[in-house]
Amino acid sequence: MADEKDYKLIEIKRITGQIKVITGLRIGASPESMEISGLDNPIIRNPVNDEPYIPGSSLKGKLRSLIEWYLGEVPSTGEPSKDGCVARVFGIPASRDKKVGPTRLIIRDATLSEEDRKRFQSGEPITEIKTENSINRLTAMANPRPLERVVPGVKFDFEMIYRIFSLPEENDNGQTDRENLEKVLLPAMALLEKDYLGSSGSRGCGKVQFIVDGKPGIKIDNEFHPLPSIDKDFTTEPQPTSASETSVGESATDETSDTTASKPSEDTVQQ
């Protein structure tokens, strides 16, 4: 019978590239950690050099949440999943008695690209103050709220480490972990490009794109990989029109999709 000595690290994959800000990016910091006279809603910055960065925890948490929804692994409690392929990749609580090995995915903090670091050091602005207003429905009084965010076009260098383990009960030389890279992590990154990172995403902030040398995609062990397309999973096929809804020899009504309306109903009686 296999014992714990049969757990083995098989391979370490390094995933790299850049995160390009498409619309203003806002990942907030605690106001107490900033200057007393500063903004009420500042972005998070490196306290040593004042540069904006993307915390690995923010990126990892967002990726996990998106792929849990996509794969239907959101528990009724609303808490992070504790079993299944998502938990295996992103991690489970230490108290769980599950012999699935360590967390497979490590995400570093994403730092400014060399190009944007030079811009920042030269005094060129890479952040902006966006003022939002909430309006009182009765008095029409505006309540302005300034938010700091990183401007579009700024790029952050990111690095992820994906560890592949062999488990005694699987005895597959790490094949399950390799499959989960394609099934869990890469679709999660593709989903993020369709969603948002940080806060205020429903109000215009947070659209990002993964790129390598200006092209959409990532590098896995220095080899370029495009992210998977997930569009086909969200399409809906047009419903066929029944004979009772369409007159003989006539096209479908305006309520039917263009695909159906462009030709007579299949139920039309042939002459």
211 and 127 share a domain?
Answer: yes
Q: How far is residue 62's CA from residue 59's CA, in Å, rounded to a whole number?
A: 5
256 and 211 share a domain?
Answer: no
108 and 35 share a domain?
Answer: yes
How confident is the model at residue 233, as a pLDDT? 58
DSSP class per residue in 54-117: B-HHHHHHHHHHHHHHHHT---TT-SPP-SHHHHHHH---TT------S-SEEEPPBEE-HHHH
Residue 264 — φ and ψ, nearest 5°? -60, 155
Collapsed DSSP state (helix, strand, coil) of residue 25: strand
Residues facing 224 on adjacent strands: 219
Torsion (CA) 107, 109, 113, 116 in degrees, nearest 10 = 150
Q: Give the residue carrying structure tokens 């794969």.
A: 71
104 and 20 share a domain?
Answer: yes
122 and 102 share a domain?
Answer: yes
Total number of domains in the chain: 2
* Alpha helix segments (H runs only) across the chain: 56-71, 84-90, 114-121, 175-180, 186-194, 258-261
Domain containing 104: what range?
4-234
161 and 260 share a domain?
Answer: no
Q: Is the pTM of this model over 0.85?
A: no
How confident is the model at residue 138, as a pLDDT? 87
Provide the residue-wise pLDDT of the chain in tens; the chain has 271 residues: 444 557 899 999 999 999 999 999 999 876 554 454 456 678 999 999 999 999 999 999 999 999 999 999 887 888 877 788 999 999 987 656 566 788 999 999 999 999 999 999 999 999 999 877 778 788 888 877 888 999 999 999 999 999 999 988 888 899 999 999 999 999 999 999 999 998 887 888 899 999 999 999 999 999 999 999 987 556 545 444 444 444 444 444 443 334 333 344 444 334 3
248 and 177 share a domain?
Answer: no
269 and 136 share a domain?
Answer: no
How confident is the model at residue 39, as a pLDDT? 62
- Decide: 27 and 58 in contact? Cβ < 8 Å: yes
191 and 223 share a domain?
Answer: yes
Q: Give the residue carrying structure tokens 């429903």.
A: 202
Amino acid letter for position 174: G
